[in-house]
Amino acid sequence: MKNKIFFVISFLLFSVFGASFLSLIERKVLGLLQNRYGPNRVGWGGCMQICADGIKLLFKEDWVPPFSDKILFVVAPVISFMSFLCVLSSIPITSECMIINLDIGLLFFFMMSSLSVYGVLLAGWSSNNKYALLGAIRSVAQMLSYEIFLGISSLGTVMQCGSFNLVDIVYSQKRIWNIIPQFFGFIMFFIACVAVCHRHPFDQPESEQELADGYHIEYSGMKFGMFFIGEYISIMTASALLVCLFFGGWLGPFFSPIIWFLLKFLFFIFLFILLRASLPRPRYDRVMIFAWKICFPLSLLNLIYTSFKILL
């Protein structure tokens, strides 16, 4: 029991500090890809920048706007942050390194990830700011649109495995990874993950030019930090889930399972950063048209194809 509690606490601390470190890695990689310096002032080569950012957030004024709904304003970032942590806790790293092994692990992922919508909506509404509310409405509409075919595109792997348990899905890929029979499902799932995480080029709810930073415009201090860290935790969760569903999880020759998982995990982390560095931001209406008129029909076709393949 004590070992389990220690593991859970270690996992939560690793998630928070890992997400903070990921923000530093992203800034350094973006600087490299865009031919400029990244953070390079605090510590050797800027390695202590996350400590400086953390201290700045801790000592910033924790301001609550007098015109806001104060209770909902405080609760909203907590809901969003905790939902992301719960989602990440459902992803197995190896067959032995996991917090909980759920038979409905994939369904739990979709259930808890959808709860973050409430945190975003409450943040925009309780701020009593037109830009915050518009950003929250954009975010909710985008997440609901893309989560539909996020679920549909993952059903192909579930049908092939016959289980919603993520450990069973990983072990079903001993012979061949799901990326080969479910290539189109993987493409649809990856696009949906980028959109649900509000990552570039699907970051219209947080557009600085149009919405002045969107639904968290009125937030400062650690409340803003919860939204900020929550976004990077969602990237870590999406990358880990992509590894489990389509790239064989921790399975691989020669090296230990955790090494294989981390290598695949870091590949997707870099892919998220590369998309931010290389793609422009499209118009919001085109993002929604892309979801409903292109991705949704293609994910349905992939599901129908998988059904006929299993039946025949």
Confidence of residue 239 (pLDDT cuts 50, 70, 90): very high
Answer whether residue 185 shows pLDDT above 70: yes
Q: Percent of the chain having pLDDT more than 90?
A: 11
Contacts of 15 (CB under 8 A, 6+ apart): 85, 88, 233, 236
The confidence score (pLDDT) of residue 266 equals 92
DSSP calls for the chain: -HHHHHHHHHHHHHHHHHHHHHHHHHHHHHHHHTTS--S-SSSGGGTTHHHHHHHHHHHS-----TTS-HHHHHHHHHHHHHHHHHHHHTS-SSSSS-S---TTHHHHHHHHHHHHHHHHHHHHHHTT-HHHHHHHHHHHHHHHHHHHHHHHHHHHHHHHHT-S-HHHHHHTTSSS-TTTTTHHHHHHHHHHHHHHTT-TTS-GGG-HHHHTTGGGTT--HHHHHHHHHHHHHHHHHHHHHHHHHHS-TT--SSS-HHHHHHHHHHHHHHHHHHHHHH-PPPPHHHHHHIIIIIIHHHHHHHHHHHHHHHH-
Domain ranges of the chain: 63-311
pTM for this predicted structure: 0.89
Answer whether residue 208 shows pLDDT above 80: no
Q: Classify residue 90 by its DSSP letter.
A: T
Answer whether residue 105 shows pLDDT above 90: no
The confidence score (pLDDT) of residue 56 equals 82
Q: Percent of the chain having pLDDT more than 70?
A: 96
CB atoms within 10 A of CB 185: 27
Confidence of residue 263 (pLDDT cuts 50, 70, 90): very high
The confidence score (pLDDT) of residue 242 equals 93
Q: Classify residue 148 by its DSSP letter.
A: H
Answer whether residue 67 shows pLDDT above 90: no
